[in-house]
Structure 1
Amino acid sequence: MAVAFTDEEFRLWAEWLAEEFGHRWGPERRGILRTRLEPRRAALGLDSFDALLFHLRFHPEREAERERLLPHLTNNESYFCRERGSLDVIAGEVMPELAKRLGGAQAQVMSAACATGEEAYTLSILARERGLFTAPGSLRVTGVDVDPQALERARAGVYGEHAFRGTELPWRERFFTPQDEKTWEVRPAVREPVRFRAGNLVQDGWWRGLAPQHLVLCRNVMIYFDEASVLRAARGLWEALAPGGYLFLGHAESLRHVPVPFELHRRPGSLFYRRPLEGA
C-alpha cells in the first residue's frame, strides 16, 4: 500500500534538505522527492516519511543512513570534457597563466561537486595535453563531493561508454586503458596528480586542510541550491581560492546577485570569476 507524503512532511523535508545540503525542493518537485525517498523508507520498514526524517536526524546510525540516501537525492550526471567552451579557456589561457605566475610551484586545481570524478581527471588531462605542470608534484587536482559512493567510483577511475560521449575514440585511447568491451580505466599518469575528498559546499569550513586553490570548477551544482545556500557556497569558494584564483561555474549559473567581491571576466563561449590579487 502506498504511503502518503503529507504537506507537512514535504515542508519539513524541504527545510532539512536545504539546511543540510543546500538542495532546493520547490512544490513542483514534491513527487520527485517522494520517489527518491521511498526506497529508503521501504528498506527500513518505516510507516511514514516523517519517521524516515526522524531516523536521519536522531538515530545512532544516522550518518550511515545519510550516506545511503544521498545517491538517491544528488544528481551525479557527469562526463569527460563537459562544456567545451570553458575548458578551452582553461587550457588556452588560465593554465598557461598559472604556469607562468607560479614559476614551478605546485598548481592547486579543484573540481568542486566532482560527482564520479570525470571533471577532475579531465583537468589532469588538459594539463598533459598542453605540456603544462609536467614535473613530478607540480600539479594537484582535488575532487570534492558530498556523496561518499560517488567518491568511491571516482577513486576507482573506471568508466563506461556514457562517460565518453563528449569525446572521440583517439582521445580515449590516449588517456585510458580498456578493461573489457564496455569499460575503460584512467591511466596512471592521468591519475597521479588527482585526489578525492569528502566535502559539503554549504557547510562552513569544508575547505580547511586544503592548500589555497588557483583554479576551481564548481559547475552545475548551484542550480540545485536555494538562495541562502548559493551565498554560503560562494563564500566558501572565496575562502578556498588563492588571491588571483579562477572560479568557473556552469553556463546556467551566475553570482551576479551574490555579495561576494569576485571579478567577472568574459570570453567567447565562457565566463568566469576571479578572486582579486592582493593589493589589486
Structure 2
Amino acid sequence: MAVPLLDEEFRLWAEWIGEELGHRWGPERREILRTRLEPRRAALGLESFDALLFHLRFHPEREAERARLVPHLTNNESYFCRERGSLEVIRDEVLPELAGRLGAGGQARLLSAACAAGEEAYTLSILARESGFTGPGTLRVTGMDVDPAALDKAQAGVYGTHAFRGTDPGWRDRWFDPRGEEAWEVKPEVRAPVRFLPGNLVRDGWWNGLPPQHLVLCRNVMIYFDEAAVLKAAQGLWEALAPGGYLFLGHAESLRHVPVPFELQRRPGALFYRRPEEDA
C-alpha cells in the first residue's frame, strides 16, 4: 500500500536535502521525492517517511544508509563529449594556453566536479592527451562526486552504448576496449592520470587536499541548487582554482548574481569564467 508523504514530512525532507546536497525541492516535486524515497522506506520496513528521516539521522548505520539513499536523490545523467562548444574551447584554447604556461615537465591539473559516473573526467583525459599532455606526470585529472555508487561506476570505467551517444564509433574505438556485447572499457593510458574522490560542493573545505586546479568543469549541477548552495559552491570553486584557472559551467548555469570575482569570458558556443591572476 502506498504511504503518503505528509506536508510536515515533505518540509523536513526538503530541508535535509538542502542542507546535505544543496538541492532545491519545491512543492511541485513532492510526488517525485516520495517515489524516490519509497524504495528505502519499504526496504527498511518503516511505516512513514518521518521514520525514514529519523533512521537516516540517528541510526548507528546512518552513514551507510545515506550512501544508499543519495543515488535516489541525485541526477547522474552524463555521457562522453557532452556540450561540445565548451569542449572545443578547452581543446583549442585552454589546453594549449596551459601547455605554454606550464612549460615542459609542468603538470596540468583538471577537475571534474560532480563527475557522476566518470564520463566527463575521462573526456578531459582524452582531450589532454590529444593536446600533447602524454609525458609522465604531465597530467592529473580528478573526478569528484557526492554519490558513492556513481564513483564506483567511474572507477570501474566500463560503459554501455548510451554513454557514447555524443561520439562516433571511431572515437570510441580509439580510446576504449570492447568488453563483451555493447560495453567498452577505458584504455589504460586514458585511465592512468585519472583518480576519483568523494566530495560535496556545499561542504566547507571540500577542496582541501587538492592542489590548485588549472581547469574545473562543474556542469549541470548548480541548476539543482538553491541560492545559498550556489554561493557556497562558487566560493569553493574559487578556492579550488589556481590563479588564472578556468571554470566551465553548464550552458544553463550562470554566476551573474554571485558575489565572487570571477571574470566572465565569451567565445562562440561557450561561456566560461576565470579566476584572475594574483597580480591582475
* TM-score band, normalised by shorter chain: over 0.9
Shift of 1:113: 0.1
Shift of 1:129: 1.8
1:161-200 aligned at under 5 Å gives the runs 161-200=161-200
Report what 2:113 is aligned to. 112
Distance 2:254 2:126 in 1: 27
Residue identity opposite 1:251 in structure 2:
H
Residue identity opposite 2:227 in structure 1:
E
Distance 2:73 2:2 in 1: 20
Shift of 1:217: 0.1
Report what 2:268 is aligned to. 268
The unaligned stretches of length 5 or more in structure 2 are: none
Report what 2:124 is aligned to. 123
Q: Does 1:61 align with 2:47?
A: no
Shift of 1:63: 0.3
SS of the residue aligned with 1:76? coil
Paired-residue identity, %:
80
Residue identity opposite 2:7 in structure 1:
D
Distance 2:53 2:238 in 1: 32
Q: Does 1:76 align with 2:51?
A: no
Distance 2:130 2:258 in 1: 35
Shift of 1:4: 1.5
Distance 2:170 2:20 in 1: 42
The unaligned stretches of length 5 or more in structure 1 are: none
CA contact (8 A) 2:4 2:34 kept: no
TM-score by length of 1: 0.99
Distance 2:134 2:184 in 1: 24
Distance 2:211 2:51 in 1: 41
Deviations 1:64-92 (A, max 9, x none): 00000011111111000000000000000
Question: What is the aligned residue count?
Answer: 279
CA contact (8 A) 2:142 2:196 kept: yes
Deviations 1:140-166 (A, max 9, x none): 000000001100000000000000000
The worse-fitting range, judged by mean Cα deviation, of 226-235 and 98-107 is 98-107
Report what 1:50 is aligned to. 50
Shift of 1:11: 0.5
TM-score by length of 2: 0.99
> Displaced runs of 4+ in structure 1, greater than 2 A?
none
CA contact (8 A) 2:122 2:190 kept: yes
Q: How large is the Cα RMSD of the aligned pairs?
A: 0.6
